[in-house]
Amino acid sequence: MDVRVTYDSIPRIADIGRVWGIFDMAKEVEIKFRVSDEQSLARDLRRAGFNQITPSTHEMNVLYDLPRQKLRKRGELLRLRQYGDKWVLTHKAKSMAGRHKVRVERETAIENGKQMDSILRALGFAPTFRYEKYRAEWSDGKGHVVVDKTPIGNFGEIEGPARWIDRTAKALGILPADYITQTYAPMFFEWKRRTRSPAMEMTFTAVK
């Protein structure tokens, strides 16, 4: 029997996750904002009742896609992340436009990131973009704020229920006009166009 597998026959990542039961599914609601003064932000977070739950830790992210950028064209994202010594595989559905970035997120811990990379490549996926940062995490028990040191500047993320995001942003002196709902990849390419940088990835080595 001649069995032919084409890229069009590969099921969506979300469908694979439902069949295998490997993903924790949650709706991600968040906004980003620029950080001009890390120490001032840390003081404001403590005053607002936040505790730091992880120190600033190195993080490397790799995005994968099928030939002809099929996931990107559908507005989806497949990411393999190493945060310190932990690996996580994440799929994000197409985001919904609005004041906050809202999208369904599915992710699972991975024991061996290099083996996961090999599996993805064997299935026809290929790395398309890398981005790097140092991330510190804060929480008040209701949601999370992270502070990222990236090659293109420092940013924060506020993630939690929509109303809680707005209350937290206000407590930190962040206005709705300051909200950023883009992911890091388009933010990098906007920065690249603006600065005329030759960098092809958002890593500290590429962006000097």
What are the extents of the domains in the chain? 7-195
Q: Which fold has domain 7-195?
A: Hypothetical Protein Pfu-838710-001 (2.40.320)
pTM metric for this prediction: 0.84
Q: Which amino acid is at 137?
A: E
User: What pLDDT, on the 0 to 100 scale, is given for residue 89?
Assistant: 98
Write down the residue that tokens 């590429």 correspond to.
206
User: Rounded to whole angstroms, how far apart are CA atoms 67 and 123?
Assistant: 11
User: Rounded to whole angstroms, how far apart are CA atoms 152 and 193?
Assistant: 12
- Return the structure tokens found at 69: 């950028």
102-122 tens-digit pLDDT: 999 999 999 999 999 999 999
Write down the residue that tokens 């140092």 correspond to.
134
Write down the residue that tokens 């977070």 correspond to.
45
Give kind and range of the element (H or E) at residue 165: helix 162-171
37-87 tens-digit pLDDT: 999 999 999 999 999 999 999 999 999 999 999 999 999 999 999 999 999
Write down the residue that tokens 């989806």 correspond to.
76
Is the pLDDT assigned to residue 23 strictly greater than 50? no
Question: Mean pLDDT, the chain, as a whole number?
Answer: 90
User: What pLDDT, on the 0 to 100 scale, is given for residue 132?
Assistant: 98
For 85, phi then psi, to 5°, come to -105, 15
154-197 tens-digit pLDDT: 999 999 999 999 999 999 999 999 999 999 999 999 999 999 99
202, 150 Cβ separation under 8 angstroms: yes
Burial of residue 144 (CB within 10 Å: 0-12, 13-18, 19+) is middle
Q: How confident is the model at residue 25 (pLDDT cuts 50, 70, 90)?
A: low
Listing DSSP states for 13-41 in one string gives HHHHHHHHT--EEEEEEEEEEE-S-HHHH
Q: Is 5 strand, coil or helix? A: coil
